[in-house]
Amino acid sequence: MKIVFATNNKHKLHEIRKITAGKIEILSLSDIHCREEIPETGTTLEENALLKAQFIKDTFGFDCFADDTGLEVDALDGVPGVYSSRYAGEACDPQDNMDKLLHELQGKRDRKARFRTVIALLLNGEKRLFEGEIKGRIIEEKRGTAGFGYDPVFLPDGYNKTFAELGDDEKNKISHRAIATRKLVEFLLSN
Ligand code: IMP
């Protein structure tokens, strides 16, 4: 089986190719020569993941899957959520996003949050969604240097290290994305 993963993120590709080696061939956007800007105009993770997968199907004709992830913070009614990558503005970096988050949560006792990943799959004319989430809390200051995005401020439940202190190997066993990816791979391998 051959399927497109609507991403050029090397880490995501490496992770899924490792699990599916010899069974499913995963093509990236550059493998199919997609240089277009894929729309991410949805207001939910589900909508954005589907938009991306549908764009590839409509434009290139391939069966495809796409993912979208957000950090949902209880005390902020689920914000930044679908806007996680540009929480502090269009031209912001992860440090700006974390600084804004810590600022918004200043003085708040409820620090509960979760990372949630949705993967949308378009296969043989059918649509399916796979979800993974990990619960935790936002600590008061950044800790650790591994990972990316909000990792230095996210403490997963049951751990005393942030995602950025755990390191990639440990994080990738328990993460939101790993959970959603396992569900997707299980489905693909059973079809
Ligand atoms: P994407 O949908 O995977 O591109 O993720 C959107 C945004 O969510 C990223 O730009 C990060 O800000 C944040 N994010 C996603 N996954 C993670 C993670 O595993 N750790 C920290 N931040 C993440």
Q: What is the pLDDT along the chain (191 residues), one digit of tens a residue?
A: 899 999 989 988 988 898 888 889 999 999 999 998 898 899 999 999 999 999 999 999 999 999 999 999 999 999 999 999 999 999 999 999 999 999 999 999 999 999 999 999 999 999 999 999 999 999 999 999 999 999 999 999 999 999 999 998 899 899 999 999 999 999 998 97
- Listed in sequence order, the residues at least 6 apart from 33 whose beta carbon sits closer than 8 Å to its beta carbon are none
Nearest CA to ligand 1 atom 11: 149
In this structure, which amino acid lies at residue 21? A
The candidate with the shortest Cα–Cα distance to 16, out of 129, 134, 181, is: 181
Report field, pTM of the whole predicted structure over 0.75: yes
Nearest CA to ligand 1 atom 16: 69
- Distance separating alpha carbons of residues 155 and 185, to the nearest angstrom: 27
3-state secondary structure of 113: strand
* Predicted local confidence at residue 191, as pLDDT: 77
| Catalytic residue status for 96 | no
The candidate with the shortest Cα–Cα distance to 6, out of 184, 189, 187, 190, is: 184
Q: Which atom of ligand 1 is nearest to the CA of 85?
A: 10
Say how many C-beta atoms besides its own lie within 10 A of residue 35's C-beta: 7
For helices 10-20 and 176-189, angle between their N-to-C axes, nearest 10 degrees: 40
Q: Where are the alpha helices (DSSP H) in 31-124?
A: 45-60, 94-104
Q: Which atom of ligand 1 is nearest to the CA of 151?
A: 21
What is the torsional sign of CA 42, 47, 48, 51? Answer: negative
The candidate with the shortest Cα–Cα distance to 132, out of 182, 176, 175, is: 176
Q: Which atom of ligand 1 is nearest to the CA of 176?
A: 19
Catalytic residue among 67, 68, 96, 99: 68
Nearest CA to ligand 1 atom 5: 69
Q: What is the CA(36)–ligand 1 centre distance, in A? A: 21
* Predicted local confidence at residue 64, as pLDDT: 97
Nearest CA to ligand 1 atom 23: 149
Pocket of ligand 1 (CB under 6 A): 68-71, 84-85, 97, 115, 147-151, 163, 175
